[in-house]
Amino acid sequence: MGTNRLALYSQRMAAVTLVLIVAMMGINAAAWLFPGFASEYGLGFSLTERQLSSLADGALRLAGWQSLGAILLTSIPLLALAVGLANLRQLFNRYARGQYFSSEAAVYLGRTGHTVALWVLLDFLCEPLLSVLVTINEPVGQRLITLSVTAPSFVALFLAACIAIIARILSQASEVDSENRTFV
């Protein structure tokens, strides 16, 4: 694959990543504003989807303050993921400029891995608060406190560790590349 095609693909991935960040946050908010629609079509990201799917149809009618609180609580882990995607976008922008072995590229890749791990942790921590928030108006005996450990969480943590290790390797490659350039 030629360098120009690789630069073009990197530019496209940077643009797609930006669209994904905006869409992710918008779909999350829309899922809480229109929970019936979101449940029917499976809209939502991880925490939102798990909470909406666990609620009975009657419980999907949330008060305005509950919907707003749910949007805010579910946005916390998604903001961490958005920061990771923003770092990934910066990495693609570096690649589009031909900076394959730069130390900055390694830093952006490492930050991406760390924020994916942070996303999983925040998702885990926000779930009990969210479950209390959305069921607080339910009668006694129907209120919930949920906590989930899912297979996708373990996969995301594994990928985050892999990304962090690859970032370290890229950092070492950057140092070797820099040394080789001084000899030439």
DSSP characters for 126-143?
HHHHHHHHHHTTSPTTS-
More confident residue, 99 or 11: 11
Tell me what the mean pLDDT of segment 143-169 comes to: 92
81 vs 142 pLDDT, higher one: 81
CA–CA gap between residue 43 and residue 68 (Å, rounded):
17
Percent of the chain with pLDDT over 90: 55
| R_g of the chain, CA atoms, integer Å | 20
Q: How far is CA 96 from CA 9, 14, 82, 88, in A?
A: 8, 9, 21, 12
The boundaries of the domain holding residue 11 are 3-183
Domain count, the chain: 1
> From its phi and psi, is residue 138 left (phi > 0), alpha (psi between -120 and 50) or beta?
beta
Say yes or no to pLDDT of 77 above 90.
Answer: yes
18 has a pLDDT exceeding 60: yes
Question: If you search the block for the tokens 């390694």, which residue do you land on?
Answer: 106
Residues 6+ apart with CB under 8 A from 149: 124
Cβ-contact 29, 71 below 8 angstroms: yes
pLDDT at 4: 86
80 compared with 57, residue with greater pLDDT: 80
Residue 49: is its pLDDT beyond 60?
yes
- Asked if residues 174 and 101 have their Cβ atoms less than 8 Å apart, the reply is yes
The DSSP code for 55 is S
Higher-scoring residue by pLDDT: 102, 94 = 94
Write down the mean pLDDT value for the chain.
88
For residue 181, is pLDDT > 80? no
What band does 116 get if pLDDT is binned at 50, 70 and 90? very high
Percent of the chain at pLDDT exceeding 70: 95
The pLDDT, as a whole number, for residue 182 is: 78
Rounded CA separation 105/94 (Å): 7
For 99, residues 6+ apart whose C-beta sits below 8 A from its C-beta are 105
pLDDT of residue 177: 74
